[in-house]
Amino acid sequence: MSTPETYNNDNTILSSSENSVNVDLKQSCETIYGLYAGNACKDFTFKGSQNTLLSFNFPDGSRLSNINDCAFYQCTKLSSVDFSNCQFLTKIGSYAFSGCSSLTNVILPIHLKSISPFCFEFTLISSISIPNEVTSLGTLCFQSCSKLKNVIIDVESNLKEIGVKSFNGAMIETIFIPKSTINIDEYAFSLCVALKEFTIDPSNPSYSVSDGILFN
């Protein structure tokens, strides 16, 4: 029986889909395909399922290690993604979930190393926990996430950089800056009109806060 999803011969790359609704990823899959070129998402796995994909599930023991740029771009009906079973997933590409306008809940993989530029822009995520191994938040990665109020960064976080306009237009009220953070780029928190408080780890050598104002 045929399925809407297409894999390569050894089932390690999920390359395309057509009108997929509820997808259970094969355990052997290592890469979900996507291509950003010429300033646009040119080709990606769910290009044929942008208006149909409702759920995407990862099996126990998933071998997934890479989600390419644009893989789930503008999958407008996808509401939740849980990467808890993805122990090998270290990279989620740029624009991977950009424009997933129904996406409200994301649980990131424990060994993720970075959140790529534009990754979750224009979603409805309300809360996000940043894994401790993440070292950078890319440019505009959470821009225009108008429901995002809660960003959880642990005291043991290895976060080094918060990129340009990472949280542009988000509704976060407080943010914790761990001791590892050495670079907060220009306008990282621009248009965060609800932001009231920065909390800085006292061991952070680069940043301090006074009267609610962040200094470096």
User: Do 165 and 192 fall within a single domain?
Assistant: yes
- Is residue 45 predicted with pLDDT exceeding 80? yes
Percent of the chain with pLDDT over 70: 99
User: Do 108 and 167 fall within a single domain?
Assistant: no
**What mean pLDDT, rounded, does the chain reach?**
97
- Least Cα distance to 33 among 51, 57, 17 occurs for 17
Q: What is the pLDDT of residue 213?
A: 81
Q: What is the pLDDT of residue 3?
A: 74
Residue 201: exposed, middle, or buried by beta-carbon count in 10 A (0-12, 13-18, 19+)?
middle
The residue among 96, 125, 154 that closes a domain is 125
The residue among 125, 156, 176 that closes a domain is 125
How many Å apart are CA 57 and CA 36, to the nearest integer? Answer: 24
Mean pLDDT of 118-135: 99
19 CB neighbour count, 10 Å cutoff: 10
Predicted structure pTM score: 0.95
Q: Which domain holds residue 167?
A: 134-216
